[in-house]
């Protein structure tokens, strides 16, 4: 049995095909590369291999040819949680939350860290690197540690302290930068091109983002159908593009009969794709203002930005930007109504869905799923507001009078 159905690479710009090897861009035109699989007619049951755990149950559509190269901590198989209290409150018939906070480092990034580090081992790299606002650095350092390869992680000095503590324990080398972000990215990209480390970044590596594709497979498997709308946060565009690829592959294999309407969700402080989509103009990078959703604070996503825009335009998608106040409201409602505590970046998709329902941009009889990308346990907390109590029996007993 062939472990992976991967065949090679194809350029999404000029269409040139390439043999299966480690390439970051099209050698002919510099365009974005996609992996190509032998997509035969199959059912989801044919595809799944329950000898493996988590997202590696879908190894046939992941780009690792030898199982010995897989580096895993059990990522994937995250719960798809119905939201029976939140859905009627915001005005939608059915809402499902793909809660990625149960991954090993508490974020969706673990899926891509697993495919990135496994790919690094597959292609013989001894080191991997990324520039990160928090989650990506923590996750990649953890998987590199697990896979026994060297990690060089660059983290912004204003990152969440909890994530930075975690990262400092896992990274082979943690570099906290204070200068210009764009200068650093250029320098790190150059080192990657010189072969000093495998690319753990999100902007161009076609192998890395494949891990997030399994979200689409897991949702289709759990629901046995495709929801009407898929709300995806977009920073560089990894989740959006990868999940789109997942649904597209399933449609080609005859596993599903339609695609969900893809909704690109960004922060109002960093919304280059929303701005281009709503104005009908070509993609342009924009400046970024501070936002509590640090994971989506990207003004120049590189070549994946125009790609997200192209998918939105070809498939009649939607693009929405939300304010920090809307993000905090989504965070509070998710906790109050469904008992889930997610970080601000994690609820950008939910905040956009609430906005869409409020503005009647989607039919209230629809079904939707939102990716909740991270746990709230690794972000800076809002101040706790508990009640100070005395500890005598009478005082404690009185507290139960509300029960
Ligand atoms: Zn090309």
The reported pLDDT for the residue numbered 94 is 98
- Pairing status of strand 127-132 against strand 150-156: parallel
Q: Which residue has the higher pLDDT, 397 or 50?
A: 50
Q: Which residue has the higher pLDDT, 123 or 179?
A: 123
CATH assignment of the domain containing 235: 3.40.50.1100
Q: Is residue 297 part of a domain?
A: yes
Q: Compute the distance between CA of residue 215 and CA of residue 212 in angstroms, rounded to an integer.
A: 6
Cβ < 5 A residues, ion ligand 1: 11, 13-14, 16, 26, 28-29, 31
Q: Is residue 256 part of a domain?
A: yes
Interaxial angle between packed helices 135-147 and 161-170, expressed in degrees from 0 to 180 and rounded to the nearest 10: 20
C-alpha 36 to ligand 1 mean position (Å): 14
The reported pLDDT for the residue numbered 381 is 65
Average model confidence (pLDDT) across the chain? 94
C-alpha 1 to ligand 1 mean position (Å): 32
C-alpha 195 to ligand 1 mean position (Å): 21
Report pLDDT digits (tens) over 313-336.
999 999 999 999 999 999 999 999
C-alpha 201 to ligand 1 mean position (Å): 20
Coarse DSSP helix, strand, coil percentages of the chain, rounded to the nearest 5 percent? 40, 20, 40
C-alpha 270 to ligand 1 mean position (Å): 29
Q: Is residue 378 part of a domain?
A: no
C-alpha 34 to ligand 1 mean position (Å): 11
Average pLDDT over residues 118-124: 98
The reported pLDDT for the residue numbered 186 is 87
The reported pLDDT for the residue numbered 382 is 64
The reported pLDDT for the residue numbered 384 is 67
Q: State the total domains in the chain.
A: 1
Q: Compute the distance between CA of residue 189 and CA of residue 197 in angstroms, rounded to an integer.
A: 10
C-alpha 27 to ligand 1 mean position (Å): 7
Q: Is residue 353 part of a domain?
A: yes
C-alpha 29 to ligand 1 mean position (Å): 4
In sequence order, the β-bridge partners of residue 96 are 82, 369
Report phi then psi at 22, rounded to 5: -80, 100
C-alpha 187 to ligand 1 mean position (Å): 24
Q: In Å, how far from its chain's centre is CA 217?
A: 14
Report pLDDT digits (tens) over 198-222.
999 999 999 999 999 999 999 999 9
Nearest to 215 by CA among 108, 322, 311, 331: 108
Q: Is residue 246 part of a domain?
A: yes
Q: Which residue has the higher pLDDT, 394 or 312?
A: 312
Say whether pLDDT at 242 is over 90. yes
Tell me the residue range of the domain where 274 lies.
80-106+208-372
Report pLDDT digits (tens) over 71-99.
999 999 999 999 999 999 999 999 999 99
* Residues contacting residue 76 through CB under 8 Å, at least 6 positions apart: 53, 54, 55, 56, 57, 103, 111, 211, 214, 218
The reported pLDDT for the residue numbered 380 is 73
Q: How confident is the model at residue 296 (pLDDT cuts 50, 70, 90)?
A: very high
10 Å CB burial of residue 354 (0-12, 13-18, 19+) is buried
Say whether pLDDT at 39 is over 80. yes
The reported pLDDT for the residue numbered 315 is 96
Report pLDDT digits (tens) over 343-400.
999 999 999 999 999 999 999 999 999 999 999 998 876 656 777 778 899 988 888 8
C-alpha 17 to ligand 1 mean position (Å): 9
Q: Compute the distance between CA of residue 143 and CA of residue 55 in angstroms, rounded to an integer.
A: 15
Question: Cβ(138)–Cβ(167) under 8 Å?
Answer: yes
Q: How confident is the model at residue 157 (pLDDT cuts 50, 70, 90)?
A: confident
C-alpha 226 to ligand 1 mean position (Å): 32
C-alpha 140 to ligand 1 mean position (Å): 28
C-alpha 303 to ligand 1 mean position (Å): 12
Q: In Å, how far from its chain's centre is CA 155?
A: 18
Q: Is residue 349 part of a domain?
A: yes
Average pLDDT over residues 289-294: 91
- Taking residue 68's Cβ as centre, other Cβ atoms within 10 Å add up to 9
Q: Is residue 163 part of a domain?
A: no
Question: Within 13 A of 361's CA, how many CA atoms are on the CB side?
Answer: 17
The reported pLDDT for the residue numbered 365 is 97
Question: What are the CB-based long-range contacts (under 8 Å, 24+) for 283-286?
Answer: 283/309
Q: Is residue 190 part of a domain?
A: no
The reported pLDDT for the residue numbered 47 is 95
* Residues contacting residue 253 through CB under 8 Å, at least 6 positions apart: 39, 40, 41, 42, 47
Say whether pLDDT at 259 is over 90. yes
C-alpha 10 to ligand 1 mean position (Å): 8
């Amino acid at each position: 049995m062939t472990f992976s159905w991967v065949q090679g690479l194809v350029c999404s710009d000029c269409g040139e095909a390439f043999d299966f090897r480690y390439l970051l861009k099209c050698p002919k035109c510099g365009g974005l590369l996609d992996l190509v699989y032998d997509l035969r007619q199959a059912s989801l049951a044919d595809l799944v291999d329950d000898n493996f755990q988590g997202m590696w149950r879908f190894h046939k559509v992941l780009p690792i040819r030898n199982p010995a190269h897989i580096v895993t901590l059990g990522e994937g198989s995250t719960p798809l949680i119905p939201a029976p209290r939140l859905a009627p409150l915001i005005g939608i018939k059915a809402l499902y939350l793909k809660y990625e906070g149960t991954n090993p480092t508490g974020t969706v990034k673990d899926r891509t860290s697993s495919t990135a580090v496994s790919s690094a081992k597959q292609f013989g790299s001894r080191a991997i690197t990324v520039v990160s606002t928090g989650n990506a650095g923590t996750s990649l350092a953890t998987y590199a540690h697990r896979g026994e390869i060297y990690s060089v992680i660059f983290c912004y000095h204003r990152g969440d302290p909890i994530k930075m503590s975690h990262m400092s324990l896992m990274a082979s080398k943690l570099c906290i930068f204070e200068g210009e972000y764009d200068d650093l990215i250029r320098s790190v990209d150059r080192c990657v091109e010189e072969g000093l480390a495998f690319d753990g970044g999100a902007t161009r590596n076609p192998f890395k983002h494949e891990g997030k594709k399994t979200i689409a497979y897991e949702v289709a498997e759990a629901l046995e159908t495709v929801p009407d709308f898929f709300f995806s946060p977009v920073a560089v565009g990894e989740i959006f593009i990868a999940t789109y690829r997942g649904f597209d592959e399933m449609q080609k294999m005859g596993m599903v009969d339609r695609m969900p309407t893809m909704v690109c969700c960004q922060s109002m402080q960093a919304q280059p794709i929303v701005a281009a989509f709503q104005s009908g103009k070509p993609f342009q990078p924009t400046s970024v203002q501070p936002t509590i959703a640090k994971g989506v604070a990207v003004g120049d996503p590189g070549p994946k930005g125009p790609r997200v825009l192209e998918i939105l335009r070809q498939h009649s998608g939607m693009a929405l930007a939300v304010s920090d106040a809307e993000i905090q409201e989504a965070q509070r409602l998710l906790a109050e109504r469904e008992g889930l505590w997610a970080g601000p970046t994690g609820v950008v998709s939910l905040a956009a869905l609430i906005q869409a329902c409020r503005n009647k941009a989607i039919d209230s009889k629809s079904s939707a799923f939102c990716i909740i990308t991270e746990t709230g346990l690794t972000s800076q907390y809002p101040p706790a507001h508990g009640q100070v109590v005395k500890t005598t029996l009478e005082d404690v007993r009185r507290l139960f009078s509300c029960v």
